[in-house]
């Protein structure tokens, strides 16, 4: 089990850079290909930028061609939470951090083997730590 970290939006706003705050706590989306870690293949772990919870391992990262960093599975089942998102006239599955609840991106069912999942993440929500976890 991941222990919850509860902070108000005002606290997060004072802690995070404005662009990261907007994406992680106001459900923003970053423009594709501006990403810091889209075309980036070093070995390591991707943490939640807000609370440092490990979210994805570099072994599960793949080139999706979307311009957003993409993974075929999270690092553990309770690292992320998934919930229905009906914004913008679409029906999507939003993905948030399992500890602090920050918005991370969306998951789609058109990913590669072995899971067939595509976790399409905002790079602003992630913090890369090099080396093995």
16 binds Fe ion (CB under 5 A): no
Q: Is 51 in the site for Fe ion (CB under 5 A)?
A: yes
Active site residue 100: no
Do residues 81 and 98 make contact, with C-beta atoms less than 8 angstroms apart? yes
Residue among 48, 51, 97, 120 flagged as catalytic: 120
The residue from 60, 97, 104, 107 that contacts Fe ion (CB under 5 A) is: 97
Which residue number, 88 or 105, has a Cβ lying nearer to Fe ion? 105
Radius of gyration of the chain from its Cα atoms, rounded to whole angstroms = 14
Q: Which residues contact 53 (CB under 8 A, 6 or more apart)?
A: 2, 47, 79, 97, 98, 99, 100
| CB of 131 vs Fe ion, minimal distance in Å | 21
Binding site for Fe ion (CB under 5 A): 48, 50-51, 53, 97, 99-100, 102
């Amino acid at each position: 089990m991941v222990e919850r970290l509860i902070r108000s939006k005002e606290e997060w706003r004072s802690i995070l850079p404005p662009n990261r705050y907007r994406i992680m706590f106001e459900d923003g989306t970053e423009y594709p290909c501006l990403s810091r870690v889209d075309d980036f293949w070093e070995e390591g772990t991707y943490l939640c930028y807000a609370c440092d919870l490990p979210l994805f391992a570099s072994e599960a990262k793949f080139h999706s061609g979307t311009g957003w960093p993409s993974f075929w599975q999270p690092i553990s089942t309770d690292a992320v939470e998934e919930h229905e998102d009906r914004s913008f006239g679409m029906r999507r599955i939003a993905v948030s951090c399992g500890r602090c609840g920050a918005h991370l991106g969306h998951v789609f069912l058109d990913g590669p083997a072995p899971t067939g999942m595509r976790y399409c993440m905002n790079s602003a929500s992630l913090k890369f730590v090099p080396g093995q976890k």
